[in-house]
Structure 1
Amino acid sequence: MDNKATEKVHCLIIGSGPAGYTAAIYAARANLKPVLYQGIQPGGQLTITTEVENYPGYADGVQGPEMMVDFEKQATRMGADVRFGLATKVDFSEQPYKVWIDDEKLIEADAVIIATGASAKWLGLESEERLNGFGVSACAVCDGFFFRGKEVAIVGAGDTAAEEALYLSKLCSAVHMFVRRDEMRASKVMQERVFKTPNIKIYWNTETEEILGENKTEAVRIKNIKTGESQTIPVSGFFVAIGHEPNSTIFKGWLEMDEAGYLKTIPGTTKTNVEGVFAAGDVQDKVYRQAVTAAGTGCMAALDAERWLGEKGLH
């Protein structure tokens, strides 16, 4: 690799959702001269969300992509260097840390903030992709509100699916829950709560064939795996709750993660097991997964990085 392709930066931020941009705002204000690479999906998961009504400060709600443009503008105005590019490989064996962008450019950084987020797992249907944001969602807490008094469907069998079905049951007239097997993976406590909720109807051994509707979700066609019988259920909303995948593959072998791949941080901080490397947002949070909590940990990561750089005499 020639030296022209190597650049030394003080604080590198990988990822551009609420966590990454908030970290950039704080790091820029602390004069850490942050360089932020936006990754494969500039703006993160919010760019595939339409209406956001639960982020404080937007009294009338805001479109997800528009909100991320606001975050980016603020980070840039504070002096953050926001760039296109995807981190493809890292070497955290010694200071300064090495991060390769798009397999070709090498960045050497004193401190690294990881805010690569997580991606929802989808069923892989064409109709699911086409109607995403038009009744199809992977976050009941974000979007359930729009279906008050309506019938909705949810796919999944784990704790998250059970939790989201219960959340939806308080807002919607009926929740149709599709489970692939003849039992749920959710904990007994969560299952009990679902079974006791009168407006949640469970369909066992069921898979989704198609989500129906032209410009909005109108119904869902399901099939019983055992009998081969199909049926169509009219619904206004279709929620996919089959899990999320943290975007953490390139950090395997360097950073401690749980069995699902979420980066582990020291409780109460954003510190990873490698000093000077911090993690914020959904790549390390599988519990809350909200824009506002991601932004909060982005702020923490920048403050942790500033403090650490100061202690090391690098700032």
Structure 2
Amino acid sequence: MSSDWNESDPDPRAAAAALRRELASEEQWMRRVAVSGTEEKPEPDDLVSWILRAARLESVSGDSPFAAWPQLASAVGIDVVDAITKAAKVSMKVLEESGGHALGEAIGDAEDASCLRAVEPASTGLLGPVFPMLELWVEAAEESPLDDDAFDIVTARRETWPLGDDRRLSVVQTPLHELDHRVVAKLHGGVQRLAPVFELAEDLALFADGRPSKRMLDQFNSRKGQGVTPAGLDIIVEPVLDDWWDVFVRIKGSASKIVRQVRLGTLLLTRLEEDPDLWTVSLKDLPLDPLTRLVGSDIAIKTTDGGRFLI
């Protein structure tokens, strides 16, 4: 979806102009098809691709046809929330399983999703229901180990599309080659698992009144662990899932101040300003499938001294 720049000559102004023409041409085509009724209608992926690229152009230049997406969606009869959700799931599978050119493009699509998340509220405010999925999509792309081809594509994207810090993915800003990941793992002894692999029993994935069952809460909240960071600091991890699908991870010990990142599966947690040892994220707005998957996912913690922990 995002391969529309010349890797050998990354000129931001030329790329923006070319994308603007491309979007205008596709918009005319979709409007013409909607009126004529004689041509084959666009697929949902066609509209999603248009929206994502328009969001990128809006982020770069503020001069894009992005605001026209509701009219286009209505004209061609496509449910945008459903279409973006399906596209995100396909892209996340590519991010997990692919390499090379496909991986590089998938990271670009995820960064376009980051742009969409940033520009859409000020435009129409109609895509709120898909924001949790955009968050999952963005986080799935972050810190992906890149092979040579993917590394080249991501580097070209960074040079061609100058996005702001709130939209630029770290995997694009400071990409790590898969060899870098191996070196870091070797230096710091790899990932430390603080507790046995967590497996959510299938029968616990059934909820009453839209809330987690008591058995699910008990199983999730039973996983705790402690370890030592590469610098010799103690770390104690205590996760909690509450009745309203809020996840809290309290980190104790001398390492609590050097924790730089906490994730539940692909979802990034936020550190509370009023309680820096507590990290949290809400799952309540997620669709059932990703919600269930996340509840059963590992919690990953990273520290500034190179420590990586799973629980």
If the length of structure 1 is used for normalisation, what is the TM-score? 0.24
If the length of structure 2 is used for normalisation, what is the TM-score? 0.24
Higher helix share: 2
Higher strand share: 1
